């Protein structure tokens, strides 16, 4: 269901013209001023914002809200509702990132068409960004899902994409804890996570991690995009398939019908709310104050990764992938959970993500010498061991007990 936030201090305007959007079958939530609009956008998700300009706080609360919004959510589409004598303010709103505007005297005739057009453009932008700009661990499985039409295979691709997201979420959480001073009371589920890779195990691990990490962490932001009922539904399907219950084409079609609207909402929230990068520093030069870094950005749906050049005062380790939180410009090492190696072709890379440890599952204690098994994101091949041969002793001690 499309979710619309309509911010206008004149509630009768919202009540009167909401019927114009009835063909969308949308859920419309109102905000009486700029402050309330910003608060609802911080705590909730909406597909589009309809924003009056002349309302509290002060005279042009709509402009104030738009300026605040761009500090934490630059991607939500905004349509300005402008009244008489607001031409210069409307131009300023467009410069601040609003996608379109409708004059109040033409709401009845134009609003529905403008909302539909802006939503279509937003959907296209979200898909383009998720497949080309987001970390490869997310973008490549998502692209495979989008490119598959046959119901049974498409269902599998959806499950693979969601499992990839859960895995990435857990890796980020574990690495953020490892870099912090957080003390875990019981990390038994994390020990299970490194021994057995499954959607259910990743899901249990993320629920555990959510108890410890602060709200400003990247993990919490990633985790907050996941709907409980949706994840439970997909995990049940995955478990049924794992136990030999491969769905027929008719059942796969039914599963897709029940889940793709929720997947759409999940990916749109992900696109709007998450602003991160994965980078691999290759060469670092220190000038006495900062490090000049040459590397690649681990994004997009192919193995040809873009070069990047940046500077930082934080010492990074070459050839270890880092999560960059663009909001705080902090770096978290994701090694050895993610490993990159150059491929045979120039400028291409093999991106490998942690799958599990290679060990006898009947053995309780780790020795530290167990090799890590990886999944190649590009080929889908499992049971890979990188040239560097990372072992369990490289994992955080709160997981291994070493």
pLDDT per residue as tens digits for the range 344-384:
887 789 999 999 998 877 777 889 999 999 999 988 888 88
pLDDT of amino acid 364? 79
Average pLDDT for 239-248: 87
| C-alpha to C-alpha distances, 312 to 16, 23, 288, 352, nearest whole angstrom | 53, 51, 12, 26
Indicate the pLDDT class of residue 71, thresholds 50, 70 and 90: confident
Average pLDDT of every residue of the chain: 92
CA distance 147 to 222: 24
- Band (pLDDT 50/70/90 cuts) for residue 58 is confident
The Cα 65–Cα 59 span in angstroms is 12
The yes-or-no verdict on residue 233 having pLDDT over 90 is: yes
Whether residue 327 has pLDDT greater than 80: no
**Model confidence at 262: pLDDT above 90:** yes
Percent of the chain with pLDDT over 90: 76
How far is the CA of 47 from the CAs of 79, 127, 235, 271, in angstroms? 11, 14, 26, 11
User: What pLDDT is stored for residue 325 in this prediction?
Assistant: 83
Question: Looking at the predicted structure, is the pLDDT value of residue 84 above 80?
Answer: no
- In this predicted structure, what is the pLDDT of residue 244? 80
CA distance 262 to 277: 25
Task: Specify the pLDDT at position 380.
Answer: 86
pTM listed for this prediction: 0.93
Report the side by side order of strands in the sheet with 338-342: 338-342, 349-357, 372-376
Question: Is the model's pLDDT at 24 over the cut of 80?
Answer: yes
pLDDT at 234 over 90: yes
Contacts of 288 (CB under 8 A, 6+ apart): none
């Amino acid at each position: 269901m499309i979710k619309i936030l309509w911010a206008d201090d004149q509630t009768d305007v919202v009540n009167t013209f909401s019927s114009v959007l009835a063909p969308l079958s949308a859920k419309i939530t109102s905000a009486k001023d700029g402050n309330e609009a910003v608060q609802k956008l911080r705590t909730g998700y909406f597909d589009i914002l309809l924003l009056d300009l002349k309302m509290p706080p002060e005279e042009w609360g709509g402009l104030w809200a738009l300026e605040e919004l761009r500090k934490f959510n630059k991607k939500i589409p905004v349509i300005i509702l402008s009244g008489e004598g607001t031409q210069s303010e409307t131009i300023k709103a467009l410069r601040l990132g609003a996608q379109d505007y409708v004059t109040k005297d033409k709401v009845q005739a134009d609003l529905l068409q403008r909302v539909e057009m802006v939503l279509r453009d937003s959907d296209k932008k979200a898909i383009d960004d998720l497949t080309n700009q987001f970390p490869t661990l997310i973008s490549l499985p998502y692209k495979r899902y989008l490119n598959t039409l046959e119901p049974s295979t498409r269902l599998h691709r959806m499950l693979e994409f969601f499992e990839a997201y859960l895995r990435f979420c857990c890796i980020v959480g574990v690495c953020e804890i490892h870099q912090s001073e957080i003390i875990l009371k019981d990390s038994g589920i994390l020990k299970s996570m490194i021994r057995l890779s499954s959607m259910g195990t990743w899901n249990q691990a993320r629920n555990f991690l959510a108890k410890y990490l602060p709200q400003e962490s990247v993990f919490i932001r990633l985790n907050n995009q996941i709907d409980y009922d949706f994840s439970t539904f997909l995990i049940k399907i995955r478990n049924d398939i794992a136990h030999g219950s491969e769905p027929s084409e008719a059942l796969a079609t039914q599963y897709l019908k029940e889940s793709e609207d929720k997947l759409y909402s999940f990916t749109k929230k992900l696109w709007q709310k998450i602003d991160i990068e994965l980078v691999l520093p290759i060469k670092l030069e220190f000038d006495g104050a900062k490090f000049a870094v040459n590397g690649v950005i681990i994004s997009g749906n192919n193995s040809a990764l873009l070069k990047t050049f940046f500077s930082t005062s934080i010492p990074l380790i070459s050839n270890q992938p880092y999560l960059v939180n663009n909001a705080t410009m902090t770096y978290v090492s994701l090694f050895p959970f993610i490993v990159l190696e150059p491929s045979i072709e120039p400028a291409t890379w093999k991106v490998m993500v942690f799958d599990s440890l290679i060990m006898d599952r009947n053995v309780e204690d780790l020795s530290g010498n167990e090799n890590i098994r990886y999944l190649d994101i590009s080929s889908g091949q499992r049971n890979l061991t990188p040239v560097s041969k990372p072992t369990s002793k490289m994992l955080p001690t709160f997981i291994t007990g070493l």
